[in-house]
Chain A
Amino acid sequence: MSASMHLPVDPARRAFINARLVDPASGYEGPGGVLIENGLIRAAGPEVTADAVGDAALVDCRGLILLPGLIDMRVFTGEPGYEHRETLRTASLAAAAGGVTSMIVMPDTDPVIDDAALVDFILRRARDTAIVRVAPMAAITRGLKGETMSEIGLLREAGAVALTDGRRGVASARVLRRAMAYARDFDMLICQHVEDADLAAGGVMHEGELAARLGLPGIPPQAEVIMLERDIRLVELTGARYHAMQISCAESVEVIRRAKARGLPVSCGVSINHLLLNEHDIGAWRTFFKLSPPLRSEADRQALVAGLADGTIDVIVSSHDPQGADSKRLPFAEAAFGAIGLQTLLSAALSLYHAGAISLLRLSEVTSRAPARLLGIEGGTLAAGALADFVLVDPEASWRVTPESLLSSAKNTPFEDRVFEGRVVRTVVAGRTVFSLDSVENGQTAFS
């Protein structure tokens, strides 16, 4: 993994005992503890108890869930270029409070992250200002213009963990084919925003009865399916590793399922929003629910949840996309797409667990281990030698999402006023506690 994801390490030898461990790497779920030292996990499992850890400082977890820190594969910040929306620092505060220990940031900045020097800039800014790990994806094409491929090898060497054109899909099959063939030589994952911009042009929400009633131009699911199917043909041609960043409809789940059954190196993600919400949440033109891809029908949502449970969908992302009043307090058709989500990602995902849709192990798999594996970075495991990046969660604690409770500098959450059951109590990165609920409740700042 890129050395630049390194953060200040807490060298202390410390044992988190009496926890309920959830380790998707080993498949273990049960009582136990985690012993850490020098920012790494030394041991984890039922044998890590107060008596077994010698002189280590003890943290009694009192039965809380302890799982690997979340790796959020799709995070937009405003840095560089749109710092009024969000900086790497404010995004990292929200991430820490949400149990996200690694943010994978998108190249849709100004300037676009399409040059090794800019990858380096992100990594340095993150090192100096962020409290969780940050790694950038770099642009597939220069300037996100979809015309010529970026310097994929040099970007990889600089520390880019994957390639994406962010909010845009690469429209040209010829350009994408070459980028895929080239990326494959460097074992770089191609992450595509699967939406045919031409077919989706002008659309602002799911195309259907509701759009007709609201008088809004729609985006048909076919805009997604067409590009997904085309891209899978290009995967056949090139052998590139391909990841559909967010799918939103039932048919896409089927397309991915078939591609996987044929053994193609294809994976996909879904945003937590699409797992919990549907088009009806838009209600009276509420722009915080204007997302790309759009929230779709309830049947689509259910198919996504099923696809997540059965392994077809690999990853949940927050798709954290900070927007201010300038871009959201507008008529629905004119408002920007996007919602924040770093801080609510884990709590929202726990509601799927409470609803019986997925197990805790599966939840942890799709939020940490799968992204680590796809990106070739560390994380997603509690094994000895792994990074001491993990989260303590109280699955029963409930909290109400309010603008005041959110640490992101943008407040465009689709979960405002929602009460979630399940709350992050403590977040540890490289052995350091970067978020602690106690400190928040006592009015202290938990982070450096």
Chain B
Amino acid sequence: MQDALTDERAPILKGRHLLGVADLTIEEITALLDLAEHYVAVNRRRKKRLSILEGRTQINLFFEPSTRTQSSFELAGKRLGADVLNMAVKVSSITKGETLIDTAVTLNAMGPDLLVVRHQHSGAVALLAQKVSCAVINAGDGRHEHPTQALLDALTIRRHKGRFENLIVAICGDILHSRVARSNILLLQKLGAHVRLVAPSTLLPPDAERLCPDVHTDMRQGLKGADVVMMLRLQKERMNGAFIPSTREYYRFFGLDADKLAVAKEDAIVMHPGPMNRGVEIASRIADGPRSVIREQVEMGVAVRMAVLDALARNENVGQGEGGEAR
């Protein structure tokens, strides 16, 4: 099975880009997770570097600063042998509409093979994808999607639970502003999990029930019997009075502590996309406790991103037929 998977000519993804979970089929998701599983093993070896993307150029274009995701993509690209260039774009100094297209055209002229993009506005990555001739990976666009995060979360869940069907996954916290939540809702529902949303009404999108019919504003009810508790990060600017009254009130009613976790299943795992606000959305004892798989999520992140880079590069192999990689 792994041979077929790791065969660089075998296509995994139909689309040219990875812009969101919404576009993926169950088969594609499963194949990506299987391939990522293979890279988990690779990453645990002493010698991690492969040559699958040798001679390829990967540009990480981050309009919004992110240490974690960017270094995860950088490491993933380098382990596959690609030349990786990080570009941080300061938005403040330039007019927005122009910048994105201009940047795309400029970058395209440099001839990258893979473009990893994060942008603060929903839909910006899709817009940019229309203007370039390489594969684009959405590393987070506004409140819209963050597909590699959802994939790495799914991989982590699969490794612990072995399945998705009928798992109760409680996604808790700032769902309104979270692209992680949106991608996870879509992905986990596709895979057959029962997703619950848990948040105060002020942090739920309007018509949240349309995204996910099982919505709770009381955390204990929302966590009851859960197999997976997925906490979301609360952004600083939402903390004081605008969406919630205060961090201490948030912690009291929506922070994951031993008390609230007690109503979940005994073997429930605790997840967080990071970076965490300890004592706001999660207690340190839980974050560092035996049920936490938060560090494992980071490890899975690199493997999943390797799988995604690999998969998209394969499509370019087929499509272009030029250069040294064509066989």
Contact = CB atoms under 8 A, between A and B. Distances in A.
A106 B217 CA distance: 28
Contacts of A151: 245-246, 248-249
Interface stretch (B117-125, B224-232, B235-243): B235-243
A147 B200 CA distance: 19
A148 B249 contact: no
Given A148-B245, A182-B244, A182-B245, A153 B253 contact: yes
Given A142-B241, A149-B241, A185 B218 contact: yes
Contact of A147 (B201, B241, B243, B246): B241
Interface in B187-214: 200-202
Interface residues on B, range: 10 to 19
A238 B240 contact: no
B252 interface: yes
Contacts of B249: 151-154
A142 B248 CA distance: 15
A278 B283 CA distance: 58
A178 interface: yes
A178 B243 contact: yes
A306 interface: no
Nearest to A185: B217
Contacts of B217: 184-185
Which of A147, A185, A238: most chain B Cβ within 10 A?
A185
B245 A152 contact: yes
Given A148-B241, A149-B241, A178-B242, A184 B248 contact: no
Contacts of A142: 241
A150 interface: yes
Contacts of B202: 178, 181-182
Interface in A277-312: none
Interface in A150-188: 150-154, 178, 181-182, 184-185
Contact of B201 (A141, A153, A154, A184): A184
Contacts, number: 43
Contacts of A238: 201
A153 B241 contact: no
Interface of B is mostly: loop
A150 B245 contact: yes
Interface in A237-284: 238
Interface in A58-76: none
Contacts of B242: 148, 178
Interface of A is mostly: helix
A152 B250 CA distance: 10
A148 B240 contact: yes
A181 B200 CA distance: 8
A182 B254 CA distance: 13
A151 B250 CA distance: 9
A148 B245 CA distance: 7
Interface in A124-151: 141-142, 147-151
Nearest to B216: A185
Contacts of B240: 148
A147 B240 CA distance: 11
B90 to A, nearest CB: 30
A433 B98 CA distance: 78
A182 B200 contact: yes
A156 to B, nearest CB: 10
B250 to A, nearest CB: 9
A154 B251 CA distance: 11
A185 B241 contact: no
A147 B249 CA distance: 17
Interface in A406-446: none
A16 B185 CA distance: 63
Contacts of B244: 149, 182
Nearest to B253: A153
B252 A185 contact: no
A118 B252 CA distance: 18
A262 to B, nearest CB: 20
Which of A151, A184, A238: most chain B Cβ within 10 A?
A151
Which of B243, B244, B249, B253: most chain A Cβ within 10 A?
B249
A142 B252 CA distance: 19
Interface in A34-71: none
B214 to A, nearest CB: 16
Contacts of A147: 241
A149 B245 contact: yes
Nearest to A157: B252
A24 B253 CA distance: 37
B218 A153 contact: no
Given A148-B241, A178-B242, A185 B200 contact: yes
Given A151-B248, A154-B249, A154-B252, A181 B201 contact: yes
A181 B201 CA distance: 6
Which of B202, B217, B242, B253: most chain A Cβ within 10 A?
B202
Contacts of A153: 245, 249, 252-253
A153 B200 CA distance: 11
Contacts of A152: 245, 249
A152 B253 CA distance: 11
Contacts of B245: 148-154, 182
Contacts of B241: 141-142, 147-149
- Nearest first, the 4 closest Cβ-Cβ pairs linking A and B are A148-B241, A181-B201, A185-B217, A151-B245
Interface of B: 200-202, 217-218, 240-246, 248-249, 252-253
26 contacts: A141-B241, A142-B241, A147-B241, A148-B242, A148-B245, A150-B245, A151-B246, A152-B249, A153-B245, A154-B245, A154-B249, A154-B252, A178-B202, A178-B242, A178-B243, A181-B200, A181-B201, A181-B202, A182-B200, A182-B201, A182-B244, A182-B245, A184-B201, A185-B200, A185-B218, A238-B201
Given A148-B240, A181-B202, 12 more contacts: A148-B242, A149-B244, A150-B245, A151-B245, A153-B245, A153-B252, A153-B253, A154-B245, A154-B248, A178-B202, A182-B200, A182-B201
